[in-house]
Amino acid sequence: MEIKFLIIALELILLLSSHKNDDMLQVKSFVFNEFQENTYVIWDQTKACAIIDPGCYKSQERLELSDFIAKNELKPELLLNTHCHIDHVLGNDYVMAKYNLPLHLHKDELKTYSDTKKWTAMFGIPPLVLPENLVFLNAGTAISFGETSLEVLFTPGHSIASLSFFHASSLQLFAGDVLFKQSIGRTDLPSGNLNTLLNSIKEQLLVLPDETIVYAGHNEPTSIGEERRSNPFLRNLQASL
């Protein structure tokens, strides 16, 4: 078993190294808040960057994010939410104010955002205010920053209108909480639906090349190929592909 996972790890390292080319997005991940959520800063050779799912809540976390951006002379141009569960939106207000950015999300995630008041009360966090400066994203379109274009994929199931962002030229996917290493997103939260989630994975993610690196909302990266081969939650999907 240990040898099997060592081989998988080596394959992922080779995949990451083989992606290093002029079209490669640079990726920095941060683990923020009590939910251990992955926040991503991605940038291209122009130094323009996008911030995906800022979960920075504490002042130290917010400083860590802004210091990294400043030290690397990055220019934030996009703020993206894959979905609006509390752990993925705790830093939205900070990023919007500091970099004067609108928030890009799917319109149907506004209900998810509104529901965060239930969770803030539960965890003793001040209520989150729904931002006013919003840009709604539609599935099948693209969103751009610098010289980079991201495909917007509609991947509901974990939440009502989750989005994933795919960079085709470097085969990198930012999937929120849809697909994880050896697992999938939970569906027991409001608006979650297992069949919808599995259908999203089947029709939107498993059609991508095996070499595609998956950056998830929690835990370490994986690849489409690795999950296709060994994710226990996807075994029944394979027969129908």
Domains in the chain: boundaries: 25-238
Q: What is the pLDDT of residue 24?
A: 79
Query: Measured between alpha carbons, how far is 32 from 131 in angstroms, rounded to an integer?
Result: 21
Query: Measured between alpha carbons, how far is 34 from 57 in angstroms, rounded to an integer?
Result: 9
Which CATH fold topology does 25-238 show?
A: Metallo-beta-lactamase; Chain A (3.60.15)
Contact present, 78 and 145 (Cβ < 8 Å): yes
Q: What are the tens digits of pLDDT across the range 52-83? A: 999 999 999 999 999 999 999 999 999 999 99
**Is the pLDDT confidence value at 116 over 50?**
yes
182 band by pLDDT with thresholds 50, 70 and 90: very high
Would the CA dihedral through 53, 210, 202, 181 be positive or negative?
negative
DSSP 15-50: HHHHT-STTPPEEEEEEETTTTEEEEEEE-TT-EEE
Contact present, 93 and 57 (Cβ < 8 Å): no
Beta-sheet strand order (sheet of 103-105): 26-32, 37-43, 48-52, 75-80, 103-105, 134-136
235 band by pLDDT with thresholds 50, 70 and 90: confident
Q: What is the pLDDT of residue 20?
A: 46
16 band by pLDDT with thresholds 50, 70 and 90: low
Query: Measured between alpha carbons, how far is 180 from 184 in angstroms, rounded to an integer?
Result: 5
| DSSP summary character for residue 204 | I
| Number of separate helices (H) and strands (E) present in the chain | 9, 14
